[in-house]
Structure 1
C-alpha cells in the first residue's frame, strides 16, 4: 500500500507570530529526528487533517519539503490542540529509519459482545483505551483489539496479556494491566426531598422581580454608605 504524500514548506515565522499563519489556513509544524537538524515548517491545515484521519499516529507519511522531489518517511508526533476550539495549533513530524524500531501509542478497540453486560449482570468498563507499542515503522498497527466475548461474570477482565498482536509487535505495558472489565452496577441512593416552605400570596412576584436587583445594589455600596443608612432616622407618617 502506497504511503500518503504530504508537501510542506519551510517556515521563518515562529512564536506568537505563528497566529498569522493559522489565519491564512496554514498549520505550523516542526520536523525532528536522529542525525538531522530540527526544521520549522508550515503546511495546509486541511491537507494535514485529511491525511491524519487515514494514518493516525502510527501510519507512515512521505514528507516532501518545498519543490524537492525526494521525500522522507515520518510519523506524526506531538499535536497541540486548542482547548476551546479543539483545533490543531501545531504538529511535530518525527523522521524515522525504516530499519529501526519505533514506539507509538495506539488505541485499543473493544470487539465482540460481553454476555454479562447484555444480560444485565454487570457493566462493561474500559480502564485502558490506548497503549504504547514498538515495531519496525512499516509494521506498526493502527490499533489493537480486545475481544470481550468472554466476559460473563462480575470481575471477569481482559488484560494486556490477552491482547493478540503480530509477533513483530511488542506491547510496552504490564501484562496484568486491565483493559476491559465487567463491574457490578452501582445502586444510586435516593436523596430525600426537602420540605418546601409555604409561599405567602402577594410576596412571590415582588421578591422575584426585585430580589436580584436589591442584592446587586447592596453589594455595590461602599461600607461607609451602608453604615450611614443605618444611622438615618425614619420619618414618621403625618
Structure 2
C-alpha cells in the first residue's frame, strides 16, 4: 500500500513552533543520509490517521508544498507527557538504493490449541523485530500462526518467521517470539496465597525475649528519673 502525506515548509522554530499546535498543526523535521534538514508542519488529523495504519515500518510519499515528493519513514513521534497528543514528528528520508533498518511489528494470527483446549496462558516475548532491507522491500508487518502451539513444549522462534526475499531479520534466530505456559495448579495458587501473609509478617519487627528485657530496663530507668524529678519539686 502506498501512503501519501502533505506537509508545509516551516519557518517557526524553538518556542515559536508551539504556536503551530494551537493552529491544529504539528511541527516536524525531515533528515536523511547526505540530505539537508528541512523543517515542516503537518495537519494533525490527517497525520494521526496515517500514522495509525502506516506506523513506523511503511514508506510514505511526503509532499512538501510544491516541491517533488520524497520517500520517508516516520522515524520518531513525540507526545505530550500529560495529554498524549503528538507534538513533534521526525521523518527519515531514504534513498531507494541504500539499505535501511526498521522495527517491523509482529501480528499474531489464529488461536493456540494449548490455550483453547489445555487452558494455558499465551506469553508474547516479542512484538517487533528489527530488519534490514532496501526501502522498496520493506514490509509493514510479519505474521505468526498461533496454530503451531499445540502443547506447552511448543514455541515459535525468530527462525520460524518467513520474511519476503530481500528482507533480513537482525535479531537472534533462537529468540522466542511466543509460547504457552501451563495454568497454575490449585496447590501453586494456595502456596502463593500462603506466601503473601508470611512476607507481610516478615516486614513487621518482632520483639523477642531480649528485646522485652531491654524495654523493661528502659521503663525502670524512666520511672526512677520521674521519681527523682518529683522529689526535687517536693523538696523545693
TM-score under structure 1 normalisation?
Answer: 0.74
Helix, strand or coil for the counterpart of 1:185? coil
1:54-93 aligned within 5 A? 54-68=53-67, 70-93=68-91
Count of residue pairs the alignment pairs up: 192
Helix, strand or coil for the counterpart of 1:38? strand
Aligned-partner Cα distance in 1 for 2:164–2:57: 15
Aligned-partner Cα distance in 2 for 1:192–1:136: 54
Aligned-partner Cα distance in 2 for 1:191–1:13: 62
Report the CA distance between 1:16 and its aligned residue.
Answer: 2.9
Helix, strand or coil for the counterpart of 2:36? coil
Aligned-partner Cα distance in 1 for 2:195–2:112: 36
Report the CA distance between 1:164 and its aligned residue.
Answer: 1.3
Residues 19 and 119 of structure 1: CA distance in aligned 2, closer, same or farther (over 3 Å)? same
State the Cα RMSD in Å: 2.0
Helix, strand or coil for the counterpart of 1:154? coil
Report the CA distance between 1:192 and its aligned residue.
Answer: 9.9
1:135 partnered with 2:133: yes
Helix, strand or coil for the counterpart of 2:148? coil
The question of whether the paired residues in 2 share the 8 Å contact of 1:74 and 1:96 is answered with yes
Aligned-partner Cα distance in 2 for 1:155–1:89: 45
Aligned-partner Cα distance in 1 for 2:179–2:196: 35
Q: Which residue is equivalent to 1:144?
A: 142
Aligned-partner Cα distance in 2 for 1:34–1:160: 30
Helix, strand or coil for the counterpart of 1:52? helix
1:46 partnered with 2:40: no
Aligned-partner Cα distance in 1 for 2:122–2:46: 38
Q: Following TM superposition, where does structure 1 have runs of at least 4 consecutive aligned residues deviating by more than 4 angstroms?
A: 191-194
Query: Structure 2: any 5+ residue segments left out of the alignment?
Result: 198-236
Q: Which residue is equivalent to 1:208?
A: none
Q: Which residue is equivalent to 1:122?
A: 120
Q: Which residue is equivalent to 1:97?
A: 95
Helix, strand or coil for the counterpart of 1:53? helix
Residues 33 and 116 of structure 1: CA distance in aligned 2, closer, same or farther (over 3 Å)? same
Report the CA distance between 1:118 and its aligned residue.
Answer: 0.6
Residues 193 and 169 of structure 1: CA distance in aligned 2, closer, same or farther (over 3 Å)? closer
Q: Which residue is equivalent to 1:228?
A: none
Q: Which residue is equivalent to 2:180?
A: 182
The question of whether the paired residues in 2 share the 8 Å contact of 1:121 and 1:154 is answered with no
Residues 99 and 18 of structure 1: CA distance in aligned 2, closer, same or farther (over 3 Å)? same
Aligned-partner Cα distance in 1 for 2:126–2:196: 38
